Amino acid sequence: MADLDPVIHAQARLRITSALATLGKEEAITFPRLQQILAMTAGNLSTHLRKLEDAEYVTVEKAIEGRSPVTYIALTTLGRRRFEDYTESLRSLLGGTA
């Protein structure tokens, strides 16, 4: 299991990266929508996003739309690559079945 990325391997972060990996390479999702999809509390999601952001696997961009603040989350190129490496390592660990 040494090949499994410890940043992604935590259950919550695996769920986050899995959800973000379904987006296109140039797409982002709002924090509340990601929170809703994953059924996570704001605090829990924020904590795990911080770890992913520190590893440069996700970007967290804050903007103002109209008069309201909005936070966008996206998987970086590095994050997408690490997620693909993680899933490949997991497949290998499980005997190469896809």
Query: Hey, what's the torsion of the CAs at 31, 48, 62, 37, to 10 degrees?
Result: -10
CATH number of 6-91: 1.10.10.10
pLDDT in tens, 48-80: 999 999 999 999 999 999 999 999 999 999 999
pLDDT value of residue 1 = 55
pLDDT value of residue 96 = 63
pLDDT value of residue 95 = 85
5 touches 93 (CB < 8 A):
no
Query: Hey, what's the torsion of the CAs at 63, 43, 34, 79, to 10 degrees?
Result: 80
93 touches 4 (CB < 8 A):
yes
Specify the DSSP class assigned to residue 35: H
Quick one: what percent of the chain has pLDDT higher than 70? 95
pLDDT > 80? residue 33: yes
* Contacts with 98 (C-beta within 8 Å, 6 or more apart), sequence order: 91
pLDDT > 80? residue 93: yes
Rounded mean pLDDT, 86-92 = 91
